[in-house]
């Protein structure tokens, strides 16, 4: 069977794209090298929380197929690569992009459109993917079209999804850009054409570096405000009333997920290669990386005061919400890992409660899971304010609370 679209990588970026294209009437084949992912989709299951089993069933009924083979590329009009890009020893890891590029190249047919959506540094599409695709003898911009369109998926965001989030697109040549724009115009409400591939790649890194730096700013501000006796949450509330020139960000226990901890490192690595320090990003990363330790120091202070200045060894701490973001099941790069490590180093007995994480393992050692938020504890630390939590009740019943999200009030509550 011929495919109108092949989506390579069926994670939190690729699967929503496959769903949107299927709903638009395209014949879609999803490719993933993980047999369990493919088997699950064929059985109507999804590892992407924002897509329900009912939606997977509807996709299958509409003709969507999942496979570990890249054979469908040979008959596809469009191939979109949505594989993960991460870090190895703090440096960009493009092995998945290169592997996908080789597999697509081996089956690429003339007339196809190939689009990369994976986040990476400016120049990746031209310097890494393009040579792999042209190793076949086909010439980009002549025999096939090549584009880049950065993903803008925000897990757990029910307001802005793929369809109503403006899509930045680009191409190796003006014709490639036009072809790329035409493809996405059938799937989303608004398409923004970048001047070139590198501009589109850079736009994605700017978006997440902007968030990284501003989160670091308010995190540093929170530490300062606590030192001088200022309510940082009231400062933020007041500042947010300014209708121009200010966008509110909130402090917290650190940053997690894929985008904010990882993507700016791609920019910093490329900047260093060009002889530039990229010092603001480096500093912001250091500030955010220090927040789990700051949370632990505040927790230690609360516990020590409750023990009249005594040791916190053997104290019981319950962590509420260990995923990296509220109302999602993703544990990647969660600041909770650092909090657990440092509490354990103090001899504290740590447990957790999270309706989105059935298991939480830190350094090979599972963290005991509490059956409910009333689990016995000397201190409750709110790391993520999941909507499932009755925060007012927790504030009333817990012996002591450290609220890192500024959402709780009460005599026994101390906010970050």
184-205: pLDDT as tens digits: 999 999 999 999 999 999 999 9
- Average the pLDDT over 141-157 and give the result: 95
Q: Per the domain annotation, does 271 fall within a domain?
A: no
- pTM for this prediction: 0.91
Last residue of a domain, one of 166, 183, 203: 203
Sign of the CA dihedral 341, 336, 408, 354? negative
The answer to whether residues 82 and 181 belong to one domain is yes
Q: Per the domain annotation, does 259 fall within a domain?
A: no
Catalytic residue among 82, 180, 225, 259: 259
pLDDT value of position 2: 65
pLDDT value of position 207: 95
pLDDT value of position 155: 87
Per DSSP, the three-state class of 401 is: strand
Beta bridge partners of 167: 191
The pLDDT > 70 percentage for the chain reads 100
Q: Per the domain annotation, does 254 fall within a domain?
A: no
126 within 8 A of 172, measured Cβ to Cβ: yes
The answer to whether residues 87 and 187 belong to one domain is yes
CATH code where residue 336 lies:
3.40.50.720
Q: State how far the alpha carbon of 116 is from the alpha carbons of 201, 309, 317, 371, in Å.
A: 10, 56, 44, 43
Q: Per the domain annotation, does 394 fall within a domain?
A: yes
- Average the pLDDT over 61-68 and give the result: 97
> CA 21 to CA 137: how far, in whole Å?
30
The answer to whether residues 172 and 312 belong to one domain is no
> CA 297 to CA 208: how far, in whole Å?
28
Q: Per the domain annotation, does 90 fall within a domain?
A: yes
278 is catalytic: no
The answer to whether residues 147 and 16 belong to one domain is yes
pLDDT value of position 50: 87
Does residue 1 register a pLDDT over 80? no
**What is the count of structural domains for the chain?**
2
The answer to whether residues 183 and 300 belong to one domain is no
Last residue of a domain, one of 147, 176, 203: 203
Q: Per the domain annotation, does 260 fall within a domain?
A: no
Convert the pLDDT of each residue in 359-409 to its tens digit. 999 999 999 999 999 999 999 999 999 999 999 999 999 999 999 999 999
Nearest to 188 by CA among 16, 7, 10: 16
Residue 172 structural domain: 5-203
Nearest to 125 by CA among 89, 88, 150, 152: 150
Mean of per-residue pLDDT scores for the chain: 95
Beta strand extents in 121-218 (DSSP E only): 145-148, 167-171, 191-193
The answer to whether residues 50 and 158 belong to one domain is yes
pLDDT value of position 308: 86
Q: Per the domain annotation, does 298 fall within a domain?
A: yes
Last residue of a domain, one of 185, 203, 221: 203
Torsion angle (degrees, nearest 10) of CA 261, 262, 265, 269: 160
Convert the pLDDT of each residue in 232-277 to its tens digit. 999 999 999 999 999 999 999 999 988 888 899 999 989 988 999 8
User: Using 50, 70 and 90 to split pLDDT, how confident is the model at 179?
Assistant: very high
Nearest to 117 by CA among 249, 215, 261, 20: 20
Q: What is the largest CA-CA distance in the chain?
A: 76
Q: Per the domain annotation, does 222 fall within a domain?
A: no
> CA 75 to CA 6: how far, in whole Å?
9
């Amino acid at each position: 069977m011929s495919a109108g679209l092949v989506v390579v990588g069926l994670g939190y970026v690729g699967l929503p794209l496959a769903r949107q294209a299927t709903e638009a009437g395209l014949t879609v084949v999803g490719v993933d090298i993980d047999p369990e992912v493919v088997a699950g989709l064929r059985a109507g299951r999804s590892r992407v929380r924002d897509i329900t089993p009912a939606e997977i069933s509807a996709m299958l009924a509409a003709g969507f197929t999942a496979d570990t083979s890249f054979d469908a590329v040979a008959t596809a009009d469009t191939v979109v690569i949505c594989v993960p890009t991460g870090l190895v020893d703090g440096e960009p890891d493009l092995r998945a992009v290169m592997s996908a590029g080789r597999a697509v190249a081996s089956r690429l047919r003339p007339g196809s459109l190939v689009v990369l959506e994976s986040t990476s540094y400016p120049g990746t599409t031209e310097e890494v993917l393009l040579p792999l695709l042209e190793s076949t003898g086909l010439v980009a911009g002549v025999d096939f079209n090549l584009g880049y369109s950065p993903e803008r998926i925000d897990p757990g965001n029910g307001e802005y999804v793929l369809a109503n989030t403006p899509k930045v697109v680009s191409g190796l040549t003006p014709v490639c850009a036009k072809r790329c724009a035409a493809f996405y115009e059938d799937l989303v409400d608004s398409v923004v054409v970048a001047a070139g591939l590198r501009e589109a790649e850079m736009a994605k890194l700017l978006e997440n570096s902007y968030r990284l730096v501003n989160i670091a700013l308010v995190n540093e501000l929170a530490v300062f405000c606590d030192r001088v006796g200022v309510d940082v949450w009231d400062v933020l509330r007041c500042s947010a009333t300014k209708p121009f020139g200010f966008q509110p960000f909130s402090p917290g226990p650190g940053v997690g997920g894929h985008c904010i901890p990882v993507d700016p490192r791609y920019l910093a690595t490329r900047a260093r290669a060009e002889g530039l320090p990229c010092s603001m990003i480096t500093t912001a990363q250091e500030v955010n990386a220090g927040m789990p330790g700051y949370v632990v120091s505040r927790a230690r202070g609360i516990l020590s005061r409750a023990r009249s200045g005594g040791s916190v060894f053997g104290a019981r701490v319950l962590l509420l919400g260990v995923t990296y973001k509220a109302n999602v099941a993703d544990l990647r790069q969660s600041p909770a890992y650092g909090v657990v490590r440092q509490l354990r180093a103090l001899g504290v007995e740590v447990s957790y409660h999270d309706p989105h994480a059935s298991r939480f393992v830190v350094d090979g050692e599972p963290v005991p899971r509490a059956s409910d938020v009333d689990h016995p504890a000397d201190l409750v630390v709110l790391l993520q304010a999941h909507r499932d939590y009755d925060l007012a009740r927790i504030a009333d019943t817990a012996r002591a609370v450290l609220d890192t999200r500024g959402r709780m009030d009460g005599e026994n509550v101390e906010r970050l």
